A and B are shown apart, each in its own frame.
Chain A
């Protein structure tokens, strides 16, 4: 069974630009969550999509947005990039139900560097 894939793996952008990151979940998983990881901050939750709808949202500005397609693939977009957006962006998929055994499986991440 293929794992979670994320593209691209590495990205370098300049301030003011916008970027789109892609995530393909494990087959059969309907929930996709996005996290930002920076040194000392752990994993900060961005948002979660389930069946093409944003179900949860973290405390990030509106420059961070996402969407999910009918095949559960998800994209995350960051507009007007700032230096502080440099981070590892992780995508995680899960079945997404309300059962307790609902582990998230992570992709390898996209390393974004903003210059």
Chain B
């Protein structure tokens, strides 16, 4: 049962444009969400997070939006750079339910120079 879903396996964007990666979840108990970036042959690297008390969190070129009513979050990268080409995973957890994180299947982003 995939509680966190990334329905787009891949995305291609021109350099300088906006990249929007989407993530949906089914468990209404989730209240903490994270995005990770993964290059081949490396472990995922934490990118940005958001708690359910917020609907937006920004860090430089990266912004995460959370729509709790739709159980949807998105990661915006502006402007996109070739070095952003990687697989992006979203993850979710429920506070008080231990330290278990549920990951999506990932979206492979390619930024075309």
Residues of A with Cβ closer than 8 Å to B? 4, 31, 33, 35, 40-45, 48, 50, 55-56, 58, 90, 92, 94, 96, 98, 100-109
Q: Does B70 contact A (CB under 8 A)?
A: no
Name the CB-closest residue of B to A48: B99
Residues of B within 8 A of A (CB): 2, 6, 9, 31-32, 34, 36, 41-46, 49, 51, 89, 91, 93, 95-96, 98-106
* Residue contact B100 to A42, C-beta cutoff 8 Å: no
Task: Let me know if A106 and B43 touch, CB within 8 A.
Answer: yes
Question: Which residues from A are CB-within-8-Å of B44?
Answer: 43, 90, 92, 106
Known: A4-B43, A42-B106, A45-B102. 13 other contacts (CB 8 A): A33-B100, A40-B105, A42-B89, A42-B104, A43-B89, A48-B98, A50-B99, A55-B98, A90-B43, A98-B95, A100-B32, A108-B41, A109-B42
Residue of A with least CB distance to B44: A106
Interface of B is mostly: loop
A-B contact count (CB 8 A): 69
A50 partner residues in chain B, CB cutoff 8 A: 99
Is the CB–CB distance between B105 and A108 below 8 Å? no
Given the interface pairs A41-B105, A100-B31, A108-B41, the reply to whether A56 lies near B46 with Cβ below 8 Å is: no
- Check A56/B51 contact, CB under 8 A, given A100-B32, A104-B46: no
Q: What are 22 A-B contacts defined by CB distance under 8 Å?
A: A4-B43, A31-B99, A35-B103, A42-B105, A45-B102, A45-B103, A48-B99, A48-B100, A98-B95, A98-B96, A100-B51, A102-B32, A102-B93, A102-B99, A103-B34, A103-B49, A104-B99, A104-B101, A105-B46, A106-B43, A106-B44, A108-B41
